[in-house]
Each structure stands twice: as structure tokens, then as C-alpha cells.
A and B are shown apart, each in its own frame.
Chain A
Amino acid sequence: GESVGLHLPTLSVQEGDNSIINCAYSNSASDYFIWYKQESGKGPQFIIDIRSNMDKRQGQRVTVLLNKTVKHLSLQIAATQPGDSAVYFCAENIRASKLTFGTGTRLQVTL
């Protein structure tokens, strides 16, 4: 069935380094992808999105890369800060239907 998975459950990076969080999806029909950040006790917070007709999109300190050939999505965070510590989810969307989430990657930023 449809699924969105993540390669690493926990990622530890030093403050100031760049972070890369990866996500694999299985449904080639997915046409919209979103990265969310979720802090403890809070709802998911939108970070950046990308549609399937693009392969790269940049925001402030974040970049999302989409490789449809291998069904892979990544989130790059530049100059990671302590405030970036959270659980990150990728979510896929097919023809404006429901969002399907993976289990998440915990990003830990060390000083």
C-alpha cells in the first residue's frame, strides 16, 4: 500500500552544520510533498513543500530535493540551530487526497 518512510529515526548534528533528512515514498502517483516540523506538545508546523513537476525548492535556510526516479525526498537545513531540534515528517499527497505521513526523524542539535 501507500507508505512514506524515513531512513533514520534519529539524526544528531552539531550547531552550525548542515542537516539532511531523507524520506522514501512508495507511490509514484504522489504529486505533492510537504515537510513538517513538530516540537513536543505541538502540532506539525509547515516547513516547505514541493510539487512533482519540480525537483528542487528553496526556502529560508531550507531546501527540499525531489528525485522521482528513485522516489526519494530530502530536506536540507543550512547552519542548523538549537531551535531546529524537533521531529521532522515528510508527507505525501495524491491528487489532493489525504496526507500520508511517515513515522518521523528526530533531529538533535548539539552545541
Chain B
Amino acid sequence: DAGVTQSPTHLIKTRGQQVTLRCSPKSGHDTVSWYQQALGQGPQFIFQYYEEEERQRGNFPDRFSGHQFPNYSSELNVNALLLGDSALYLCASSLWGGQWNYGYTFGSGTRLTVV
């Protein structure tokens, strides 16, 4: 049973460029959340997608945007990259049960370096 799959695993971009990160949720999950983890810190919530819509958003600028596809996979887009965007980007999938999110499962992340 495949867990959460993220691609690419590593990425180097130049300031001002744009980047797209991809996530395939665990089989049976319908909700995808994205987190940013700076070195030595805990993950910070970016946003969550359910039924192809952004359901919640953390304290991140509009340069961060996302999308969820009908097959529940998701993309995270970051425009006008800054050096401070360098981090590990984590995708987590879960199953929405109407009141709870069940089975939060994280992928291994995409390490983004902005130079």
C-alpha cells in the first residue's frame, strides 16, 4: 500500500523563479495538507485541500497557491521565490470523516533550495 508520494525529492531554484511541487495522497484519503518545515523547526501549516477546494489556509502570502485534482492528488505552487522559501515542503493526506480528519500521513517531503 503506497503511502504519500511527493515529487521531486530535491529541487534547486533561483530567486524570482516559480516552482511546482506534487503530492499523491495515500490510497483511500481525500484530503491533502501542505506544510513548510524550516531547518530545526516544526512544520508550519500552509493550506489544506478537500473536494478540489482550499478549505483552510495558514499565515502564508498569496505567492503560495495550490490545487487539488479529481483523483485527490495535489500541487503546491510558489511564485517569485525568496531565499527564505528554502525549506522542506511536506504533504500530508487524511480522510475527512465529516467531523474529524483521520489518519494524517506525511510524505518524505521535497527539499527546496533557493539560491
**What is A's interface to B at a CB cutoff of 8 Å?**
4, 32, 34, 36, 41-46, 89, 91, 93, 96-104
Quick check: is B56 within 8 A (CB to CB) of the other chain? yes
- Closest CB in chain B relative to A98 CB, distance in Å: 4
Query: Using Cβ atoms and an 8 Å threshold, which residues of chain B touch A34?
Result: 104
Contacting pair A89 B107 (CB below 8 A): no
Q: Are B42 and A43 in contact (CB under 8 A)?
A: no
Asked if A46 meets B41 with Cβ closer than 8 Å, knowing A32-B100, A96-B100, the reply is no
Contacting pair A96 B99 (CB below 8 A): yes
B33: chain A residues at CB < 8 Å are 98-99
Q: Check A46 against B56 for contact (C-beta < 8 Å).
A: no
Contact of A98 among B6, B56, B100, B105 (CB under 8 A): B56
Residues in B neighbouring A96, C-beta threshold 8 A: 96, 99-101
Are the C-beta atoms of B45 and A42 separated by less than 8 Å? no
**B45 A103 Cβ-Cβ under 8 A:** no
Instruction: Give the Cβ gap from B2 to chain A, nearest Cβ, in Å.
Output: 14
List the interface of chain B (C-beta within 8 A of A). 4, 6, 33, 35, 40-45, 48, 56, 58, 90, 92, 96, 99-101, 104-109
Tell whether, in the assembled complex, residue B56 and residue A97 are in contact, meaning their CB atoms are under 8 Å apart: yes
Question: What residues of B have a CB within 8 angstroms of the CB of A102 in the complex?
Answer: 42
Indicate if the CB atoms of A104 and B104 lie closer than 8 Å.
no
- Say yes or no: A101 contacts B48, CB within 8 Å: no
Residue from B42, B58, B104 in contact with A103 in the complex, judged by beta carbons closer than 8 Å:
B42
Residues of B within 8 A of A103 (CB): 40-42
Q: Does the CB pair A101–B42 fall under 8 Å? A: yes
> Which listed residue (A42, A46, A93, A101) contacts B43, Cβ 8 A?
A101
B97 to chain A, nearest CB (A): 8
A46 to B105, Cβ gap below 8 A? Answer: yes
Q: A32-B100, A44-B90 are in contact. Are A98 and B41 (CB under 8 A)?
A: no
Give chain A nearest CB distance to B42 CB in angstroms.
3
